[in-house]
Amino acid sequence: MALKNLISLSCMVAFAFGCSTRPEHAPIGNESNQRTKAEQVAYSTLSTLPASAPTSVYAYGNSELQTISYWRAKVESSHNGQVANKAIIFIHGGCWLNAYDLSHGKGFYTSLANEGIDTFAVEYRRSGDEGGGWPGSLEDVKSGVSHSLFELSKLGPKEVYIIGHSAGGHLALLASQNAASIPDNITIKSVIGLAAITDIAQYARGENSCQTATTAFMGDTPDNIPYDYKKATPQLSRIPFPVILMQGNEDNIVPTRHSIDDNAQTISIPNGGHFDWLHPQTDSYKALIKVVTAND
């Protein structure tokens, strides 16, 4: 128990401060190609973003953590004509640890709703929660996505993007491999991983604090339970929807190699950090909005 608490504490420190400054090897020289706003966003910055309370909260299980928070799309937005029938189901990250819940993305969800996009954020049990970890966290995400689709179907025809960030990207990809029953008026446009962890065994062998938290999520090391790690590795060829892996090339929590897969489209963001996806003033966020609002 003491070891798990130590792992959790070290991850909290790194998660909060690990991306607050530009890495030394970042490009220099051409300032016109470098952001001046919210550059290399720190985790702590996310809590300062303007945020509204969710429109509704739905339960998909008996635990108080098995919930979905819904932010209703703003009727008037700059993208209104392009996103009137679009929605996002989002799985938050946080090293799979219960130290991080969906609240760190409230500014992000609020911004998406202001863009005119119905947004459903799935909470789930994580490492440290009873029933969380492997495979309980995945089972929660599967149920949360399924219930979100059910609630979305009540809003009329929708084009849905299933999106996950970091450890949430890992779970979103896994949950999308075996698609549950999809309502007739719902179309899954794509599954998007934002700095998603796509090779969990490789990730577990890393040395940053989020990587070392992998064994707490899985219950043991890749060498001791290789079959479990194989099952916990997303097989993108099994996902029956287009897959997009979006990655900042200055991410110091999830290595860029996790965004390379023959069965996915890769979109790389120059100078992008790990938390930039969740901040509306970054190139990473704008690239995500461009994908979601693109005309087919």
The fraction of the chain above a pLDDT of 70, given in percent, is 83
How many other CB atoms are there within 10 angstroms of residue 125's CB atom?
21
Q: pLDDT, tens digit, for every residue of 149-179?
A: 999 999 999 999 999 999 999 999 999 998 7
How many other CB atoms are there within 10 angstroms of residue 17's CB atom?
12
Residue 178, pLDDT score: 82
How many whole angstroms separate alpha carbon 63 and alpha carbon 101? 14
CA neighbor of 121 nearest in space, from 55, 209, 174, 35: 55
As assigned by CATH, the class of the 2-19+41-293 domain is alpha beta
Strand stretches in the chain, DSSP E? 56-59, 67-71, 86-91, 118-122, 158-165, 186-194, 243-248, 265-269
Is 18's pLDDT higher than 70? Answer: no
Residue 36, pLDDT score: 43
Can you say how many angstroms the Cα of residue 32 is from the centroid of all Cα atoms in its chain?
A: 29
Q: pLDDT, tens digit, for every residue of 175-229?
A: 999 877 899 999 999 999 999 999 999 999 999 999 999 999 999 999 999 999 9
How many whole angstroms separate alpha carbon 88 and alpha carbon 71? 10
Token pair, residue 158, equals: 């929708």
Q: What does the domain layout of the chain look like in residue ranges? A: 2-19+41-293
